[in-house]
Amino acid sequence: MADVLFDCTQFLTLEASESGDGLSFLLASLGRNEDFKILHDKEISEKKLSHLNEFLNNFTVELVNQEFIGEFDEWFEFDEIPQPIKQFGQNIKELLERKLIEQLTIILVRYAYDEKAADNIFVGDFRVENIYDGLYHASCFGNSGNIVVVRIRES
């Protein structure tokens, strides 16, 4: 049986222009309601980055909020999205609508085993207008694994 390496966290990883406008906007939008402590690349544990390496783009931030992943356990009906998840999705939509980034991937981690082969990982591609379809995979009813990777693209 594998041990848990880390748990209850989320990452945003993106491709953006060198100007950093997309990353700046993202950090401002997620930081305004203070739901997340935002860790930049160099502040993120090397174990976490190594474990998720195959899904990472050129900019990665960890959104630290031990309670956020628990919101997905309260998402019983697809059309009744918990407010924190709805706000998170809106922030992502706004970022992509401004065309400040080229690619965005959301990684939601319930827990990550120290042995990668033990992880049950869902990876899906979704258009930005269907972001909640992707996020629903992390709910207890759409549960697709202990790590959910949602790649978001423009319409």
- What Cα–Cα distance (Å) separates residue 44 from each residue in 39, 51, 60, 63, 127? 6, 12, 9, 10, 28
The residue segments making up the domain with residue 29 are 4-153
Total domain count, the chain: 1
CATH no. for residue 133? Answer: 3.30.70
Give per-residue pLDDT as tens, 59-93: 899 999 989 999 998 898 899 999 999 999 988 88
**pLDDT at site 149:** 96
Cβ atoms of 13 and 40 within 8 Å: the answer is no
pLDDT under 70: residue ranges of the chain: 1, 16-23, 25-27, 29-34, 100, 142-143, 155
